[in-house]
Structure 1
Amino acid sequence: MEEKHQVATFAGGCFWCMVKPFDEQPGIISVLSGYTGGTVENPTYQQVCTDTTGHYEAVQITYNPDIFPYEKLVELFWQQIDPTDAGGQFYDRGQSYQTAIFYHNETQKRIAEESKQRLRESGRFSKPIVTPILPAQTFYPAEEYHQHYYKKNRAHYQSYHVGSGRAGFIERNWGDEHAK
């Protein structure tokens, strides 16, 4: 049922680390690494890394909302990032590694804002939640070697996930919750 599919877009730092958590969920059709939010058309990885394009590294998720609703996608997104870090994520610094939720319609915007407010009120983080909620823009797929990096380069992906500080942060702040 193709008409049941919807799209969600999240920037959570290095896109390598943002694919696997979503890719392994039921109802997820595809997870594509790419670039969004900037002014350069069809940017390359090298261009985006200069922090001059305005683009974020991001993932675009095609999903079946009857199986995995947007609310659950947003919850899972929060559990992959440090929402209090405005300068990037973990080892990766700069604008292209900042976090954002890019909404595709008013319902997604409302759900994301409500979720962000619940996270603020939860007291889980002592610093302010700085992840912005922005209107979706054109999404440009990243180069093929970035797609599903965690499958193509398992050892390097795992060492990066741990070495960047992301794995430890998730474990400290979410424990077993992030596996749900």
Structure 2
Amino acid sequence: MALLPILRYPDPRLRQPCKPIEIFDERLAALTDDLAATMRAAPGIGITLAHVGILERLTVIELDGPGSLRAYVSPVIDWFSPEMQRHTEGSVSMPGVTDEVERPARIRVSYQDLSGASQAQEADGLLAVCLQHEIDQLDGIFWIDRLSRLKRERIVKRYGKLKG
């Protein structure tokens, strides 16, 4: 497993939509392993190939420590609940800053597993937040885009100070 270089905000690639994955081979398996290692080293609980400059639709999420890694190939949200929840979010591409984001409380996601088989999953709680956050990234929507203009400007300013 190799650690991949993580793009840092405001890299323009973080705002580009990613292409669906069509080939399920050793390259995809190796990318998944490398992405998981990169996420753990960051540290984080979710990451996409977009975060490392590869504009393909793959995300890995690990909420419950080693052994709980989930890979989602070409995920798409099919359904959102009308109920909303707020949760503190941040990004491996903008380390050191977080803010509360409001998102639907429950979702249903269609995706493929690493063998290419179609899957569907309903999620709530932290998993729903993470899936929405990472799928946004795959769609070219950076997490701060979900904040008000004022909050977004404050986050960017705070991040600028942290970077030096």
Q: Which has the higher contact order (CA 8 A, sep 6+)?
A: 1
* TM-score of the aligned structures, taking structure 1 as reference length: 0.27
Higher helix share: 1
* TM-score of the aligned structures, taking structure 2 as reference length: 0.28
Higher strand share: 2
